[in-house]
Amino acid sequence: MTEESKAGSGGEVGLDLIAPELLAPALRKLTLAALGVGIGVGLLMALFVHWPVALATGIVLGAPTALYAMAVQRRRITVSGTVIRARTWRGERSIDLAAATALEILVYPGKISRIVLRITSGPDSRIVPLAIYSDSGSGRELHILGLRKLADALTSCPLAAALAISDMLVQQLRAEARDAIAEERPLYRAVRMVRARDEAAPIILADSDIADLAR
């Protein structure tokens, strides 16, 4: 997928690690399959039990998976200017990076490790996924256009952490642009750093860690 296809109307750029349009066909098939199983089981059971029992069984079997798949199809996170918008099945919420009161880089270690940016503005908080890696170093990273827009938006925030994180994302952007090996990418190095500490709980990177990764 090209970077241009990731930019939406009004200058919005998607920040999803996997573009929703790539997931949509599989999620639609999953929704239809779940509904088909629920209806099929319900009709079959109606031959042997009262229809309310058959209906309830069909709903219990098919509805949760179908509803989950439809909810995932609605999820999307975008950035436009300095505003991050997150859309879920419950609606859309936004947070302005320029008004952030706290910015943190979190690493969730494990066989599949995640690294995210947590943005806090007053009582509101948002998570922006940056990358996900397996033990072998393979994984998926935020695309170049998303990194660039996010790094630019962070420079509008007066917090000291904002500039350091922006610099780290710029280094990641440059590494992705030249197709650098995993060990030369700041986000992977951050995950490897946390794994070396043998921690199980999510870790918030210290300012010194972020500064080292931005070099």
pLDDT digits 0-9 by tens, 146-184: 999 999 999 999 999 999 999 999 999 999 999 999 899
For the chain, the farthest-separated pair of C-alpha atoms sits apart, in whole angstroms, at 69
Question: 9-18, 49-58, 88-97, 176-185: lowest mean pLDDT where?
Answer: 9-18
Q: What is the pLDDT of residue 22?
A: 58
Q: How far apart are CA 103 and CA 125, in angstroms?
A: 10
Q: What is the pLDDT of residue 129?
A: 94
Query: Is the pLDDT reported for residue 101 higher than 90?
Result: yes
Amino acid found at 88: T
Decide which of 31 and 128 is more confident: 128
pLDDT tens digit sequence for 59-75: 887 777 766 666 656 67
Q: What is the pLDDT of residue 1?
A: 33
Q: What is the pLDDT of residue 7?
A: 52
Closest CA to 156 of 94, 80, 87, 88: 80
Average pLDDT, the chain: 85
What is the reported pTM?
0.76
Q: What is the pLDDT of residue 59?
A: 85
pLDDT tens digit sequence for 23-66: 556 657 767 777 788 888 888 888 888 888 888 888 887 777 76
- Sequence-distant (6+) residues with CB within 8 A of 187 are 115, 130, 131, 133, 141, 172
Q: What is the pLDDT of residue 21?
A: 62
